[in-house]
Structure 1
Amino acid sequence: MAKDIQKSCGLDIHKDFSIATVLERGKDGKIQKRFERDDDGILALKNFVLEQKCEVVACESTNDFWMPIYDCLFDKVTVIVGNARDIKALNHKKTDKIDSEHIAILALNGMINPSRVFPKSLRDIRSLVRFRHRVVETRSIIKNIVHSILSSELFQLRNSLSDIFGKTGKTVLRGITEGRSIDNIIERFPERMKKRENEFREILKKQISYDAVLKLKLCLNIMSEIDNSIKFIENRIFNWAYTNRKREMELLMSVPGIGEISAVTLIAEIGDFNDFPTPSKLASWLGIVPNVYQSANKYYSSTITKRGSKYARWILIQVAHVVAARTKKNKLRAFFNRKKPVIGYNKAIVALAHKIVRTIWSLIVNGNCYQDEYNFSKEEFKPSYSVELEEISIDECLSIFVQAKSALTKKDPDKFNLT
């Protein structure tokens, strides 16, 4: 760090409590204290740090447990949130008190590289984006259960439909759980599927046990609730994105393979792109660069570091798959096609994800939409969100009502008096 630190506080933060250790340069001994991780405990910790006149407070980025403490202290004292992997690598013992003291020693000697801490508003939306990701994973689990139920009953619907949870598939599943006849189910098919009537009649002749029907019904009901929840979450996320980061959304969605969910996830996980002076720094922070080891004249390169946000890496890999398989001819797809014969499909996908990171950094920092020599362009689409009405307090409602009543009862000399 720029100046010598004379007094530091190390925090070992857990779900229910925190251990604080204060060390002062040139003095033997230490001050250690335990604080509960609740409102009173965090306030007591704040007062303790200020009373001890600590110049810096350091902790590990353990889950999200550090956030309330950071929000309480960051405007009073320098707070360093360090990467847990780096801090643990320098220690050989493991108790809460030793961890706390060890962090204080590292902070006192300026040996902790501060992690990027997003503003609270961005942390909140990032948490919501990650929550949506987990909800979608839960829906996938329910879908797998449905596949398992149908497979155990030898009901081969997946052989005729690429997605049994599409419009036709849901019509079949709902018809089975509601006890409809074969004719009634087929009548509800989309027109394009009715030409395959005989094929589906053979499938629907298969009898399914009562228990299987009951489980299918419960699964479909759960999926319906999850779908509604996902729509609600996405509406809030997109409202925030188009209100606060509309230009960045437009720039990101000009890139092949990036849609609304991909764009808002990258914005939430990366934050301010200008924090990174070069695209290589961004790729390194996201952990989508190879591990490098060099000794003497030997140079080794292995798998990617995976040090950054796993959600950002996951969405980048998904975007790379979309570019490789589904997009029209463009520069990114041409890059993948060149790499695939040389290093194989999987490595080529990771290399493409790395190139996408460098591309989006350039677009956001320079404020330009994606363009290449193949004149790639996307079709215009309507943003999939609805405008949320701003919340109005009771006092504001009463004030509006009083003003409206006054305006309605006020006599206008130019009008007929109807009272």
Structure 2
Amino acid sequence: MEVQVIGLDIAKSVFQLHGLDVDGETVLQKRLTRARLLPFFEKLPPCLIGIEACGSAHFWARELTKLGHDVKLMPAQYVKPYVKRQKNDMADAEAIAEAVTRPNMRFVPAKAPDEQSAMMLHKVRMMLNRQLVMLTNAIRAHMAEFGVVAPVGRGGVDRLLAIIEDDDDYHLPAEARLCLGMLANQLRLVKAQILENDRRVLASARSTELGRRLMEVPGIGPLVASALVACVPDPSIFRCGRNMAAWLGLVPRQYSSGGKARMGSVTKAGNRYLRQMLFAGAMAVIRRAMQGTRRTWLTRLLERRKPKVAAMALANKNARIAWALMTSGARYREPLDITA
């Protein structure tokens, strides 16, 4: 019997397959190593392959597509309801094969290498910033053990670094100064890498016409523009701007039943990094709005809502604006002031 659908449960070195025929009957259950996976699919007639959208999924989607197969990536949380009883590789592969055939299933577009590379800039930036905070806190904590403290902020850290470099300073013993010098050298290296990473992110945002248009929106800077271009290569997968905002977790959570609609806080689902960046950009706009004199919908919202609530509303609005700009090809138009 010819295989029509395959559920592929991927891992680092071992892969589980579950194949179905045209009637949905199980005709294949196979376990393959990494080296045998592509040769197996080369001999197989073109079929529908379902994969959970997880680590290395986009790579395998591209490789299997080159062999003529129709590959569909699905969010793992949408596959989980199809797992029967105990969780293991065979059960996961069977659930994937079942889920990929559902007509209402939502799929994840496979990313190209360039899109993954652009997003890697942001992931590395997050890791470097975490390392920066860790190194700064470590230097402050160790020096506080010898009674050396400094004010909060960059100036305080620079003052501590100057003490570490001063061999004539009496506060630090020689062994402690040697260890702190290692941390200081690492801190300088991380700062230089962050600056280089930010330069590349800015160049990535400016390199595309879409990125330049997105940066015209207040609250969307190079980081958000570059991440949007990388994470949403095809905005037409969203039916409207609200769907994209929901994908980013910027819409209220529903607790509705019996015809009664109850809305809670935002869902915080989907792409966490983009949501954080949109919120950070919105907070910058909020601070300017609180200091300005222009009468806009944002200033009126701030009169009855807390700044962070208003920032979340602005982040939601910016996500919808970004979707509109990405689908229509139009440029951002500044709204008129409110006179009433």
What TM-score, normalized by structure 2, do the two folds share?
A: 0.85
Cα pair 2:7 2:96 within 8 Å, conserved: yes
1:56 maps onto 2:19 in alignment: no
- Of 195, 198, 210, 1:231 maps to 195
> Residue 206 of structure 2 aligns with which residue?
242
Aligned to 2:65: 74
Deviates more, 1:322-331 or 1:262-271: 322-331
CA shift for structure 1 position 70: 0.5
Can you give the 5+ residue segments of structure 1 that lack an aligned partner in the other structure? 183-205, 376-419
User: What amino acid maps onto 2:49 in structure 1?
Assistant: V
Deviation of 1:138 (Å): 1.7
Q: Within the alignment, does 1:179 sit opposite 2:146 as a pair?
A: no
Matched, 1:10 2:10: no
Contact 1:330 1:374 in 2 (8 A): no
Cα pair distance change 1:317/1:215, threshold 3 Å:
farther
Secondary structure in 2 matching 1:117: coil
1:319 to 2:310 alignment = no
Q: Which moved more, 1:147-156 or 1:118-127?
A: 147-156
Deviates more, 1:256-265 or 1:75-84: 256-265
Instruction: Render the CA deviation track for 1:211-238: whole Å, top value 9, x for unaligned.
Output: 5433432222111111222233334444
Aligned AA (1:67): H
* Alignment counterpart, residue 123 of structure 1, candidates 116, 131, 142: 116
Paired residue for 2:180? Answer: 216
Aligned to 1:413: none
Deviations 1:296-315 (A, max 9, x none): 22112123233321110110
Name the SS of the counterpart of 2:230 in structure 1: helix
Equivalents in 2 of 1:326, 1:306: separation in Å?
Answer: 25
Preserved CA contact (<8 Å) 1:8 1:104: yes
Counterpart of 1:87 (choices 79, 89, 110) is 79
1:238-277 to structure 2, matched below 5 A, reads 238-243=202-207, 245=208, 247-277=209-239
Q: CA deviation at 1:253?
A: 2.4
Amino acid at match of 2:184: L
Give, in whole Å, the separation in 2 of the partners of 1:373 and 1:312.
Answer: 28
**Does structure 2 retain, via aligned residues, the 8 Å contact 1:363–1:370?**
no
Query: % of aligned pairs identical?
Result: 23
- Please point out which of 321, 331, 338 is paired with 1:368: 331
Partner of residue 20, structure 2:
23
What CA distance in whole angstroms lies between the structure 1 residues aligned with 2:247 and 2:24?
Answer: 37
Letter in 2 for 1:89: P
Q: In the TM superposition, what is the alpha-carbon distance from 1:248 to its structure 2 partner?
A: 2.5
Q: Of 38, 47, 53, which residue of structure 2 is paired with 1:43?
A: 38
Deviations 1:6-41 (A, max 9, x none): 72000111222211111113375431112223xx33
Aligned equivalents of 2:202, 2:79: Cα separation in 1: 36
Shift of 1:208: 3.7
Deviation readout 1:363-407 (Å, 9 max, x if unpaired): 4434213423359xxxxxxxxxxxxxxxxxxxxxxxxxxxxxxxx
Partners in 2 of 1:7 and 1:104 — Cα distance?
10
Q: CA separation in 1, counterparts of 2:220 and 2:176? A: 39
Shift of residue 178 of structure 1?
Answer: 1.8
**Separation in structure 1 between the aligned mates of residue 51 and residue 217 of structure 2, nearest angstrom:** 38
Counterpart amino acid of residue 330 in structure 2? G
Larger Rg: 1
Change (3 A) 1:325 1:210: farther
Q: Is the 8 A contact 1:56 1:77 kept in 2?
A: yes
TM-score (norm 1): 0.70
Alpha-carbon distance between aligned partners in 2 of 1:343 and 1:35, rounded to the nearest angstrom:
56
Q: 2:315 aligns with which of 344, 348, 353?
A: 353
Q: Distance between the aligned counterparts of 2:108 and 2:293, measured in 1?
A: 36
* 2:78 alignment partner AA: D
- Pair 1:235–1:372, CA change in 2 (3 A): same
Q: Give the corresponding residue for 1:287.
A: 249
Deviation at 1:92, TM superposition (A): 4.0
8 Å contact kept, 1:59–1:80 = yes
Query: What letter matches 1:44 in structure 2?
Result: P
Distance 1:322 1:209, change over 3 A: farther
- Secondary structure of 2:331's counterpart equals coil
| 1:299 and 2:294 aligned | no
What per-residue deviation string (whole Å, max 9, x for no partner) do you get for residues 333-360 of structure 1? 9544443454534333222211221233
Count of aligned pairs = 333
2:13 counterpart letter in structure 1: D
